[in-house]
Amino acid sequence: MSAIITGFETHDVRFPTSLTGDGTDAMNTDCDYSSAYVTLFTSTDLVGHGMTFTIGRGNDIVCAAIKELAKRLVGKDTEELFANMGATWDYLNADPQLRWIGPEKGVIHIALGAVDNALWDMYARSRRKPLWKLIVDMTPEEIVNATAFRYITDALTRSEALAMLQAKAATKAEREARVREVGYPAYVTSAGWLGYSDEKVARLTREAVAAGFNHFKMKVGADRDNDLRRGKIIRSIIDDPQYLPPSASPRHSNSPELQGKNAGPTGAVLMIDANQVWDVPQAIEYVKSLEEIKPWFIEEPTAPDDILGHAAIRKALKPHGIGVATGEHAHNRIVFKQLLQAEAIDVCQIDSCRLAGVSEVLSVLLMAAKFGVPVCPHAGGVGLCEYVIHLSLIDYIVVSGTMERNVLEFVDHLHEHFLYPCSINKNGRYNVPNDADEGYSIEMHKKSIEEYEWPNGSYWVSAKAQ
């Protein structure tokens, strides 16, 4: 049944993660994980929830931008919007006065991510399917119509995208059954924050190994000697068979999912992340000096907009067996297009709400598949893990057709605030979201909003009183 969008509400929700050092890295030393949250209402009981992620101050500015963009949906018929989500994305992105202060980047673009994600959540709820299943069940033609193509047709045309999707369509049911059975590969960042003591790093690493993970990431870039010491602590645990869970055995480094990843004797893989802290020459020399801890890749070695800088770093590090990954702060599909065209990255890291929602994510998944680059989404934060499992499932089942090289970030923070939290199985893999009512899995508990809304939520009022 059709419904009319009648209104919306936003919430500036902030969690005090800076108190425990969660999220700390060489660039971001004071992080309060925050959600700029929106709910769309209709003339029926149908709603849609969406959010974008920040690390504290400025979240209110994003909420203000969300309000301006969400106004464009009021009065619209939901079924007309759902019929061509690519055209709907273009419409949301087309307010000339709002676009002027982007265009397609910054606050306006991530606010659009929250609104577009809320609309996709509503679409999935209207069909009583999780978001990933909604898209997996679409025809190739419907997926192409749902994708943002403006400015990328020199790298990927609609007809090329359609042919790619049609080539995978006949076998997608087999892949869906497979991932439901085994789960989607994950890696863990929870042990690697810069603000943690050595003892905490060691304890969390042991816990992660025991939980079945075999891909691990640590933050680097503030102090080389400190990074080497922490890296050796992590390596000493993940490379030692005594810490493996009883049911696990060492994995062979020549297996398809580990080839080229600098895997250690147990098959464990270590990645490093600098969060943009270096200039290009610094990045090259610094990462070379960490070769001893055998990283698979360096993530965000320099400014996220520096396409040629990433290409230079990749070229310099290739002889050392270290790859380059980026995408967490890539503004839009155009930046990803150039990273791929310039052969600047070994790993493509989409972000579920830095990109402006599902329609733009689809364009990047398709481009990465065409260029043969694995997609390993950025997660962590608040709500991002809930979001990105849907995107990785879409990539595996209908776009790339593979999850051998791919791993999806997992951080064990703040999941309890969501009605449909993500979960990890005993083998360190994401479980497949399977509730007919969860949509895009981003609906937050009302109690959490009441407690952590800035500045008048009960937690923040109490904190100020103290």
Judge whether 375 and 365 are in contact, CB under 8 Å: yes
Say how many C-beta atoms besides its own lie within 10 A of residue 68's C-beta. Answer: 14
Q: Which one-letter amino acid corresponds to residue 204? A: L
Q: Which one-letter amino acid corresponds to residue 377? A: P
Spell out the alpha helix ranges (H) of 127-252: 131-136, 140-145, 158-169, 172-182, 198-210, 224-238
Tokens linked to 30: 């004071």
CA angle 93, 441, 204 (to 5 degrees): 115
Q: Which helix (H) or strand (E) holds 100?
A: helix 96-100
CB contact set of 152 (below 8 Å; sequence gap of 6+): 333, 334, 337, 363, 367
Length, in residues, of the chain:
466
The CA distance from 198 to 226, in Å, is 10
Of 31, 35, 29, 30, nearest in space to 14 by CA: 35
Could you give the C-alpha distances from 229 to 41, 201, 232, 268, 292, in angstroms and in order?
52, 11, 5, 18, 11
The CA distance from 63 to 54, in Å, is 11
Judge whether 382 and 356 are in contact, CB under 8 Å: no
The CA distance from 253 to 255, in Å, is 6
Q: What is the CA radius of gyration of the chain?
A: 21
Active-site amino acid positions: 219, 378
